[in-house]
Chains A and B, each alone.
Chain A
Amino acid sequence: AQSVTQPDIHITVSEGASLELRCNYSYGATPYLFWYVQSPGQGLQLLLKYFSGDTLVQGIKGFEAEFKRSQSSFNLRKPSVHWSDAAEYFCAVGHTGTASKLTFGTGTRLQVTL
C-alpha cells in the first residue's frame, strides 16, 4: 500500500524568505502526486499535481514541486513566501486508475513571521 511522509510537522519562515516543504512517498509504480493547502476552517485546495512528464511542476500561488523518483520525493517550493501563505500543507499520493483515492501525509503547518 502507498504511504506518504511529511517529516516536518511545523515550519516557521520569515516573509520574503524561500520555502521548501518535504514529502516522501512509498509506492511501487509511477505515482500520481499532489499538494493541497488548507486554511483554518476551510477545505483543502489543490496547489499542483504530478501525473507524468516534466518532473518540475508549476502550481497556483507561485508554488512549484519537483518529482524525484530516485529519492521518492515530491518537495514543494516557493522562492518568496507571503504572509498569506500561512496554512497547513498536505502531500498526497494516488495511483493509476484510482488517482482520486488518495493517501495523505500528516501535514506541515507553515507559520510566516513578518
Chain B
Amino acid sequence: DAGITQSPRHKVTETGTPVTLRCHQTENHRYMYWYRQDPGHGLRLIHYSYGVKDTDKGEVSDGYSVSRSKTEDFLLTLESATSSQTSVYFCAISETENSPLHFGNGTRLTVT
C-alpha cells in the first residue's frame, strides 16, 4: 500500500461541532484529494490540492474546507458538522495530475 495514513479511523460527533480529518502521506506526492463515499453515489470529490497552499474545490465542496501547509499533510475541516456529512471519507494521492490515485483506508464519520 502507498504510505497514506488517515486519522482518526472512526469518529462520532454532534451536529454543529467542528471536525478535522487528517491525511498524511510519506510518498512526497504533489497531488492530494478528499473524497466522500455514500451508498448509491460512489465516491465524490470534495476538495483537492496540487501543491502546498494550492487547493481547489471538487464536486461536493459546500460545508468543507481544506488546508495544506506541508507536502505530506492534507486536512479536511467540517466547520459545523451536519447529519448529511455522515459518510466515509477517503484521502487519495497521485504523483502527477495524470497518475492513478492511491487511496487511504478511510475515516468513518458519524454526525448525530
Contact = CB atoms under 8 A, between A and B. Distances in A.
B100 A100 contact: yes
A14 to B, nearest CB: 26
A84 interface: no
Interface in A44-76: 44-46, 49, 51
In this complex, the interface size class of chain A, counting residues with CB under 8 Å from chain B, is: 20 to 34
Interface residues of B, number: 27
A43 B104 CA distance: 5
B27 to A, nearest CB: 13
Contacts of B100: 34, 46, 49, 99-100
A34 B43 CA distance: 13
Contacts of A111: none
Interface in B17-48: 31, 33, 40-45, 48
Contacts of A49: 100
* 3 tightest Cβ-Cβ pairs between the two chains A and B: A43-B103, A104-B42, A100-B94
29 contacts: A4-B42, A32-B98, A34-B100, A41-B105, A42-B105, A43-B1, A43-B103, A43-B104, A43-B106, A44-B90, A45-B103, A90-B43, A96-B98, A97-B97, A98-B97, A99-B100, A100-B33, A100-B92, A100-B96, A100-B97, A100-B99, A100-B101, A101-B45, A102-B43, A102-B45, A102-B101, A105-B42, A106-B40, A106-B41
